[in-house]
Amino acid sequence: MSLHFKCDLPGNLTCLSNNSGRRLPFRTITVLQELDSAKAIYKLPASPDASEFIYNLFRNHSLACDYLGNNFTVAPPALEHGGIRFDYLTGINLEDAISRDLLSNDFNSANQLFTDYIKRIISLKVIRTAPLQFYKQFALNGPTITLDCLSLGVIDLIPRNIMIVNGNWVVIDNEWLFNFPVPREYLIFRTLQKLAAIIQPAIRSVASQSIPLTGLFKLGMKTLYLPKPWLDSVRPYCGSFKTMLNWEIAFQKYVTGSYPRIARLKSKPDTLTSSKTRACEKLLLAAASTLKRLPGLQTTLGVLDRAIVYSSQRSN
C-alpha cells in the first residue's frame, strides 16, 4: 500500500492502514518505519483536520493505563513528526493467535484465548448507569435503560488491537476511547462481529458435532458463523444483539458520515456442524446443473436431488 499524503518521516516507509473512508477529523494513516535496522510504528493524521484526533490519542494514554490496570499493558506513545510513535513489537495479535489455533484444529487453545479475553473484559471496572452521553455522542434514539457500563469507553479493545508479547497482553491501539461510560456488552458485540467477519474461514474449519457453529451474522449473501461455546459464554453479559447492532451502525455513521456496510444479524440463525457440508452441497448443485443439460439422466438427477436435500437438512 502506498502513501497518499506528504510525510517527512525518514527511512523506508510501509503503509499498514489508511483510513481514507472516514470523515476528515478522523482520518489517520499508520506506517511502519525502517531506519538503520530499527523499526517503529507511526500513526499520523491523514488530513489537517485530524491533528487534534491524533493528539487526543496521546493524551488518553494515561487514562487507558489507569483503567486497564493489571489486565492489559498499554503500549506507550511518543509525540513525533506530527503524529504518534510506538515501539515495534515482536509478537502476534490476539485475533491472529485465535485464527492460527483454529486453523491448526486446536479449538481448545483458541477457546482458551477467547475465554481469557472475555474474563479480562468482565474484570474491568463497571458502573451501573444509563449511558446518556453514549447515546448523545452517536445520535442514538430509543430508551436509555440502566446497564453495566465500562467506566471508560474503551470500545477499541478488540482482539486485533491486542498483541501477545512474551505472555503479556499489550494494547497497541486505543484510537476509539471515550471518557464516558459505554455499555460493556457493546465491546463484546464488536468483538463477536469482527471475529466473525475477519477470521470466518478459520472458524468454519472447526465445525463439527462437538463444536457446532451458529450462523449469527450475514454479510451480503454470506452467512457468518461463530462457535456456539463462545456465544454461550457471553450471553450472561449481553442483552439484545439487535440493539447492539444499532449501536454499531450509529458509531460507524459517526466515523464515516455514511451508512456502513457491515455484518448484520440473521433473522433466523442456523447451525453448521461440518466444515465440509457447505462445500459438498455446492459441488452437488453444480453437478446437478450440468446434468440437467444432458438427456436421459433423470434417475441420476433424482439421486442428486435427494443428496442435496439431505445435505441441506444436515447443515441447518
95-147 pLDDT, tens digit per residue, is 999 999 999 999 999 999 999 999 999 999 999 999 999 999 999 987 789 99
With a pLDDT cut of 90, the percent of the chain lying above it is 76
DSSP 8-state code for residue 50: G
Under DSSP, is residue 82 helix (H, G, I), strand (E, B) or coil? coil
Residue pair 189/244 in contact (Cβ under 8 Å)? The answer is: yes
Task: Say yes or no to pLDDT of 299 above 70.
Answer: no
- pLDDT tops 50 at residue 167: yes
Of 16-20, 213-217, 226-230, which gets the smallest average pLDDT? 16-20
Q: Tell me the average pLDDT across 166-171.
A: 95
Q: Which three cell numbers stand for residue 86?
A: 510506538
Query: Minimum mean pLDDT among 82-86, 115-119, 312-316: which range?
Result: 312-316
pLDDT level of residue 282 (50, 70, 90 thresholds): very low
Q: Is 20 left (phi over 0), alpha (psi -120 to 50) or beta?
A: alpha
Q: Which whole number is the average pLDDT over 174-191?
A: 97
H-only helix segments in 69-131: 94-103, 107-122
What residues are paired with 264 via a beta bridge? 218
- How confident is residue 170, by pLDDT bands cut at 50, 70 and 90? very high
Q: Is residue 91 over pLDDT 80?
A: yes
pTM: 0.84
What is the phi/psi pair of residue 87, to 5°? -65, 145
| pLDDT above 60: residue 263 | yes
Mean pLDDT of the chain: 88
The pLDDT of 285-294, averaged and rounded, is 53
Q: Where are the domains of the chain?
A: 12-68+75-87, 92-272, 277-315
What is the distance between the alpha carbons of residues 315 and 301, in angstroms, rounded to a whole number?
A: 21
Cα separation, 286 vs 301, in Å, equals 12
Which tens digit of pLDDT belongs to each residue from 10-49? Answer: 889 999 999 999 999 999 999 999 988 899 999 999 999 9
Could you report the per-residue pLDDT of 198-214, keeping only the tens digit for each? 999 999 999 999 999 99
Nearest to 263 by CA among 174, 195, 175: 195
